[in-house]
A and B are shown apart, each in its own frame.
Chain A
Amino acid sequence: MTGFGGFILRRAVGALVTLFALSVIIYVVFYVTPGNVAQITCGPRCSPAQVQQVAGQLHLDDPLYARYWHFLQGLFVGQDYSTGTSVQHCSAPCLGLSYQSDQQVTELILAKLPVTASLALGAMVLWLVIGVGTGVLSVWRRGRLTERLLTTLTLAGMSTPVFVIGLVLMIVVCGQLELLPFPQYVAFTDDPEQWAWNLLLPWLSLALIESATYARLTRASMLETLAEDHVRTFRAYGVGERGIIWRHALRGAVAPLIAVNANNIGVLFGGAVLTETLFGLPGIGQEMVEAVKVVDLPVVVGMVLVTGFFVVLANAVADVLYAVADRRVVLT
């Protein structure tokens, strides 16, 4: 197959195979790993008989292949679950029921997604503006004090874990200066203004850390382009420095920026575990931490798969955009 259509098709098939293999690996690892899931789910006061009953109800004693088949069935055709007293139907795509709340994992994830999406998209706007802006500025002022200052700041940004900058920001802005209240998530649909104010610090923390990567990437790509022969030709034709930087050098940075940004967004949609935990945002990441604490396997497996899905999807989209943005890329 040749051409652009074939390229997209091959990428899509590759992404699907990767995702399928990811689900098998995660399933095998999580279900083979020792640990008394039935006891933890039932609670510390359960008698051995009750634990046995829970294990039966959750199919914990079934062989691995039966459980994976069960899982696939749920994913593609839906599944009926007996919760002891009633039967609950979980339609496809079904990732199972939470051991803790009997809630459907897909519903649980959908309920948390707006929080995580708000965090990820808002932060993305900020880190692109700050990161690309810093990169362009340091190329514009290259060889001067501004560039050294920005390079140092960028290095500092790359070396700070997000929970450290988040902690410090929260303590200084909310605790000491009392400029903002401690963040508490408000849905966009309830009150857009409060939504933005409460997300400001989480956005800033994430963006300040992430923008460092973008600044470095922008700067490096632009410097690479500026060293190329065609730029010298443009200069010889009398194109000004402003035009060279914005129109030609920055263009060289677009493709790698897209690739890295897609990957970051994919990961973030699967839950910014640290940022959400630190600021108490009830998103996918925080739900994941909660589920992990009580070994709620269907929720854990479901979330890992959804995150993997976002990463694979984002990377596939990035590959396509990459090819569109940079015609030199050979389609394979």
Chain B
Amino acid sequence: MSAPGASGARQLWRRLRTQRSALVAAVVVALLVLVALGAPLLTAIEGQDPTTYHPSLVDSARGGVPIGSFGGVSAEHWLGVEPQTGRDLFARLVHGARVSLGVALAATVVQLVLGVVIGVAAGLGNRWVDLVLTRIADIFVAMPLMVVALALLAIVPTSFPRPVLVALVVGLVSGWGTLAKMVRAQTLTLKELDYVAAARLSGWGTVRIARRELLPGLATPVITFAAILVPTNITVEAALSFLGVGVKPPTPSWGQMLTSADVWYQAAPQYLLLPAGALFVTVLALTVLGDGVRTALDPRAASRLSVGTGRKQEAKGEVS
């Protein structure tokens, strides 16, 4: 159990640094975050924006194929333009990073808050509170994510801000059930420890005990779980947008770009390869970083350099 606060973070970083692959992944993730944060700046340097149509750059006689070699790559359009609309691909790709990472992180925050609050409440509450909360968590573990998310997203009116909605739905429907059950188990163990008993005897309230004595002890499993949730959420957002119920046009999203990519693969292969590659690199970097964090936090895992055993794997979302 690592200590909370700055010293814990420093210790995590020190252990992470010794793993070369995790270090590379951390750098890639940092770059991606920078690209996402600086998307408006990057597109300003290029002199384009993600939503302006350039009908003059596509050949309407041939169904909207980009004019010029390599799908319309030029000094003005660094990665070419989108078929049919002529929108700038570089701008859409970097703004897509913003949507992808933003939605995934927001969904993760929702999952973590729900999982920790419900898990701790179940662990500290009386028998009935525990029973009801555990049952609710069970229901959400059995909730078929793609199907329920698909249905919810289709029904809510489109006037609701779409990226926020996607993050909320993904966060509320998936991930937190397993976390809540894990946190509950951990809370039950921690509750019996001497320092928590001492706090209770000195008259501390339940909320104060939970905040000051339990949360630090929960940091390790929660961070480990969050590291699995982020890449899964990225994939889920891309999948929902791919199906046309996630982020709606004109907001760019990697999954959405892939929807019509198969039609254009001969004329503009980068229209397929760019969003697919971006997705792959992002999820890969986050997965490797997550493995690294897990190894750094779990000394047992470090000793055999392996990751993920047993039913923990179920935490990974089923996106089929």
Contacts and interface: CB of A to CB of B under 8 A. Distances in A.
B142 A312 contact: yes
B315 to A, nearest CB: 11
Contact of B314 (A158, A259, A308): A259
A292 B262 contact: no
A17 B135 contact: yes
Contact of B151 (A162, A213, A304): A304
A164 B320 contact: no
A183 interface: no
Contacts of A26: 148
Contact of B308 (A19, A29, A220, A307): A220
Interface string A292-332: 11010000100110011001100100000000000000000
Contacts of A130: none
Secondary structure dominating the interface of A: helix
Interface string B262-285: 100110000010001001100110
B308 A264 contact: no
Contacts of A206: 320
B320 A272 contact: yes
Contacts of B283: 158-161
B76 to A, nearest CB: 28
B147 A217 contact: no
B4 interface: no
A288 B243 CA distance: 11
Contacts of A221: 309-310
Contact of B258 (A164, A170, A224): A164
A275 to B, nearest CB: 6
Interface in A163-183: 163-164, 167-168, 170-171, 175
B306 A219 contact: yes
B62 interface: no
A273 B320 contact: yes
A258 to B, nearest CB: 10
Contact of A289 (B135, B150, B288): B150
Contacts, number: 164
Interface stretch (A30-38, A41-49, A63-71, A91-99): A30-38
Interface string B60-103: 00000000000000000000000000000000000000000000
Given A271-B147, A274-B319, A164 B287 contact: no
Contacts of A210: 320
Nearest to A277: B243
Contact of A22 (B139, B279, B306, B320): B139
B156 A34 contact: yes
B111 interface: no
B305 to A, nearest CB: 9
Contacts of A33: 152, 155-156
A175 B319 CA distance: 25
A273 B276 contact: no
Interface in B127-164: 135-136, 138-139, 141-144, 146-148, 150-152, 154-157
Given A22-B143, A161-B235, A171-B262, A29 B276 contact: no
Contacts of B239: 161, 163, 273-274
B135 A224 contact: no
Interface in A140-198: 155-156, 158-164, 167-168, 170-171, 175
Given A213-B313, A220-B306, A18 B242 contact: no
Assign chain A's interface to a size class: 35 or more
B144 A304 contact: yes
B101 to A, nearest CB: 15
B144 A311 contact: yes
Nearest to A214: B313
Contact of B318 (A259, A263, A277): A263
A21 interface: yes
Nearest to B245: A292
Given A175-B265, A273-B243, A18 B142 contact: yes
Nearest to A36: B157
A308 B141 CA distance: 10
A273 B146 contact: yes
A30 B155 contact: yes
B307 interface: yes
B261 interface: yes
B141 to A, nearest CB: 8
A236 interface: no
6 contacts: A161-B242, A175-B266, A221-B309, A289-B150, A295-B155, A304-B147
Nearest first, the 9 closest Cβ-Cβ pairs linking A and B are A159-B284, A307-B144, A292-B154, A159-B283, A267-B318, A220-B309, A272-B320, A220-B306, A256-B310
Interface of B: 135-136, 138-139, 141-144, 146-148, 150-152, 154-157, 231, 235, 238-239, 242-243, 245, 258, 261-262, 265-266, 272, 276, 279-280, 283-284, 287-288, 304, 306-311, 313-314, 316, 318-320
Given A30-B155, A163-B242, A221-B310, 6 more contacts: A33-B156, A158-B283, A159-B231, A161-B279, A220-B306, A292-B151
